Homo-oligomer: A and B are copies of this chain.
Amino acid sequence: MGKLWGSRFEAQTDALMEQFQDSIGFDQRLYRADVLGSRAYAHALHRAGLLTADECQAIEHGLDQVLQEFEARAFRIAKTDEDIHTAVERRLSELVGSAAGKLHTGRSRNDQVATDTRLYLLEQIDLLDRLLSEVQGAITIRAEAHLGVIMPGYTHLQPAQPILFSHWLMAYFWMLQRDRDRLADSRKRTSVLPLGASALAGNGFPIDCDAVAAELGFGDTARNSLDAVSDRDFVGEFLFSAALLQTHLSRLAEDLIIWSTPSFGFIEIDEQYATGSSIMPQKRNPDALELLRGKTGRMNGNLVTILTVLKGTPSAYNKDFQEDKEPLFDAVDTLRLALPVTAGVIATMRVRHRRMEEALDDGMLATELADYLVTKGVPFRESHHLVGQVVRLAEARGSTLRTLALEAYRGIDSRFGEDLYGVLDHKQAVLRRSVPCGTSPSAVKAQIERAKALLGHDAGSI
């Protein structure tokens, strides 16, 4: 058997052209979706009177066999199998004969491949959501375990104000929570059955699309067949969500890479996630983190790929759309490794409280001093200005805010009093920030509780 579509052709396809256009090399992984979709379509044909009960059963058994062969890695791709749909149909016809030839009644590869890709992605989204919740679980556990630890908070990578280490950790919890929300939103638009659209104009036979959707677990059916065969929004939306998720991981990685340098020494990542050097025997490089950061490249690349592919294509199906799959698969594969690696890094890293504490300098209490003046009735803009002068004076004298003498303070403004030294305390500074999103222990504890509620039973099981 040659190509499915070859009977009107006289010439053979050019050999390089075959390589150029065949997709079996990467779309094989859709085998399960293709078999499930075909089974549901067989049922629909049967209900529409286009397959007898016997034919339908034969096809079902044949498809079961095909699925088993794939799962046992026993399925043999033939040279003419240009894509997974052809491969399954070819094998089915070997197994069940002419009934297989009826399976394509009213169905085109255009609606079939769209159905398969959506089925595949729905399953992957669910898996990735679980992996995300496991990273969140690891974050929550560490955040709860280290609640007492104070560290420098940075903006512009310069010391800003003291914060709880757990507060820093939880910032990533909420980023990942948005990633989960975005995946859930995109899932709704993925869960729309295109089968029934046929090539572009709709199925010419009375197929019950709602029943097929129900059998396959789709939440809705397509409204317009032209749109259905060319809609790759769901791929783009997934790839965007994946790119933003990886961007979050890249920021986490950046923090930890910097904090793993001896000059910071806040964190030590576990050897399981580090590698050595081929030439420098002392090295322990945070490779896992660098890859989490670097893989943002491919994620942004995958997103640009699909957007470029779609730009300016005429309506309905174009062959260009075959280019949707490799970026999609690459993004899924990357995340299926990146997320557990992230969870592992977080769960196993050593947190060096001492080094964090040592890095708490007086400078990051300057805001406390300005707020102190506010309580004395000084407008904040003025108090900010006065404390700026204090900072400058302290630097000039080689003092810190805590060692600068009271007269020096009073020389700048007489509203400074002895009690100013009381506010120059990192713990106090943390305690004061008790708004719900703030870094005070009570607020962070409430964050953690809310996080655990979101994770449900998962949190405990990690």
Contacts and interface: CB of A to CB of B under 8 A. Distances in A.
B307 A202 contact: no
Contacts of A200: 153-155, 160-161, 163
B436 A196 contact: yes
For the complex of A and B, the 3 pairs showing the least CB-CB separation, nearest first, are A202-B438, A7-B388, A5-B276
Select the residue from A19, A161, A280, A359 with max chain B CB neighbours within 10 A.
A280
B279 A388 contact: no
A227 B389 contact: no
A14 B291 CA distance: 14
A226 B151 CA distance: 13
Select the residue from A16, A159, A172, A206 with max chain B CB neighbours within 10 A.
A16
A380 interface: yes
Grouping DSSP codes into helix (H, G, I), strand (E, B) and loop, the A interface class, with mixed when no group exceeds half, is helix
A11 B272 contact: yes
Contact of A202 (B185, B366, B440): B440
A94 interface: no
Interface in A167-213: 167-168, 170-175, 178, 181-182, 185, 188-189, 196-207, 209
Interface stretch (A69-77, A121-129, A251-259): A251-259
A8 B312 contact: no
A247 interface: yes
B199 A280 contact: yes
Question: How many subunits of this chain does the assembly comprise?
Answer: 4
A398 interface: no
Given A201-B163, A344-B17, A276 B9 contact: yes
A261 to B, nearest CB: 6
A101 B369 CA distance: 16
Contact of A98 (B224, B321, B379): B379
Interface residue range, chain A: 35 or more
B391 A307 contact: no
A407 interface: no
Interface stretch (A29-37, A60-68, A292-300, A413-421): A292-300
Given A197-B437, A282-B8, A291-B319, A13 B384 contact: no
Given A160-B200, A209-B437, A281 B168 contact: no
Contacts of A244: 233, 236-237, 307
A425 interface: no
Given A221-B436, A254-B314, A278-B384, 4 more contacts: A155-B280, A202-B438, A291-B319, A303-B307
Given A227-B174, A294-B309, A308-B307, A439 B201 contact: yes
B311 A300 contact: yes
A286 interface: yes
A133 interface: no
B384 A316 contact: no
Given A3-B276, A98-B382, A290 B308 contact: no
Nearest to A1: B381
Contact of A160 (B174, B258, B283): B283
Interface in A392-406: 392
A297 B124 CA distance: 23
A81 B74 CA distance: 27
A289 to B, nearest CB: 8
Contacts of A157: 257-258, 260-261, 286, 314, 318
Interface string A239-273: 01001100100111111011011111000001111
A459 interface: no
Contact of A379 (B102, B279, B282, B340): B102
B161 A199 contact: yes
A332 to B, nearest CB: 14
A443 interface: yes
Nearest to A308: B297
A308 B283 contact: no
B437 A283 contact: no
Contacts of A435: 196, 202-203, 206-207, 209, 225
A354 interface: no
Contact of A387 (B281, B323, B341): B281
A8 B392 contact: yes
A108 B277 contact: yes
Contacts of A181: 188-189
Contact of A296 (B202, B223, B312): B312
